[in-house]
Amino acid sequence: MAQFFVFQGTTYSEELQEGLVWAPQKSRSGGKNPGFEMMKNIKKGQIIFHSAYAKVLAISIAQTDCYASERPSVIESAAPGEWDREGFRVDTKYLEFDVPIELSSCRDWIRLHNEGVTPFNSKGGGKQQYMCNLPDIQALFFLDKAISLKQRSSLENILIDIKRSLISLDGYEEDEKDFVDFMLVEQDKEPVAPNKSKMPQEMRTINSTGTRVPKRDISRAVNALRLAGHKCEYDSTDMTFHRKNGLPYMEPHHLIPLSKYMDFEFSVDVEANIVSLCSHHHNLLHYGSLEEKRPVLRKLYQDRIPYLTEMGLFLTYEQLEDYYK
């Protein structure tokens, strides 16, 4: 699930008051502006981090997809004549932090964790751009900061739910891992065949936030492990230990991350997209450097692309690698 970071400046209070973010469709010179164009990527249920005055002040949950809208009167009052009338708007529900996050205190961490397209420059300072895409690792960092500074327990609960939704998309939680163990025992003696039916991505709602996230079917992960013969699909000779049920321990991994579901017409939660990996190579794909990930990604891509294509999941290797930056 994509999340965003907005540098609002002098319009923060007015946009907070009205529950929205707004940007003009064109720059002062009449051309397209990347920060304004980014607005068009925001969908209902996605997360936006709000910054002004060198602080992260709030998080919000989009209540609408982005839509065309004339400049709100509150923004015209805050900055009269500053922008064109035609613009992009998202209605959003703000949750202000008890204690703002000082971006100056985060500069060193950001500088060391700033790969790919982010809201920040190479020195860890903010870019001169209104709306930006925010990588998962930075979103989780700011959530942890806000949770540590919180004073209201109600705010903490919501922030924890948002964090859980980001983490659980691309990794299995402990109760899900236990259920995989249980289902393997129940099903391992039964015949197994891949499900080749294309299907739309199922969605679920996190009740405390209203956030819509992809729903994952654990039985598909179990089938993927069984189809792989409980071996690592990068290196079948990799050593492993045995589960309590006696089967070799392997971990299911969505090759196309579940969080990228919106890039595809059909569900990415299918056996064709779930690979069996040993703990070492699974953790490498989540936490390793891109240089070390590349050989694993290339082999898995080459092995899986015929099956992914059959399921309506079309992507180039370059696109897959970009997901892992």
In DSSP terms, which residues pair with 50 in a beta bridge?
6, 58
Q: Which residue has the higher pLDDT, 66 or 214?
A: 66
Q: Give the chain's mean pLDDT.
A: 86
Q: Check residue 164 and give its pLDDT.
A: 66
Q: For residue range 150-183, what is the model confidence (pLDDT) as tens digits?
A: 777 778 878 877 776 665 555 666 666 666 777 7
**Token code pair at residue 171:** 């990794």
- Provide the total of helices (H) and of strands (E) in the chain, helices listed first: 11, 11
Q: To the nearest 10°, the Cα dihedral for 180, 184, 187, 192?
A: 90
pTM over cut 0.95: no
Amino acid letter for position 118? T
Question: Using 50, 70 and 90 to split pLDDT, how confident is the model at 59?
Answer: very high
> From the CB of residue 273, how many other CB atoms can be counted at a distance below 10 Å?
23
Q: Give the mean model confidence (pLDDT) for residues 265-270.
A: 92
Q: What is the pLDDT of residues 32-45, one digit of tens each?
A: 889 999 999 998 88
Q: Which pLDDT belongs to residue 74? A: 80
The residue among 69 and 259 whose pLDDT is bigger is 69
Give the CA distances from residue 161 to residues 129, 177, 320, in Å, rounded to whole numbers and listed in that order: 28, 19, 28
**Rounded to the nearest 5°, which phi and psi values hold at 95?**
-130, 100
Q: How confident is the model at residue 105 (pLDDT cuts 50, 70, 90)?
A: very high
Phi/psi of residue 69, nearest 5 degrees: -155, 140
> Does the pLDDT value for residue 283 go beyond 90?
no
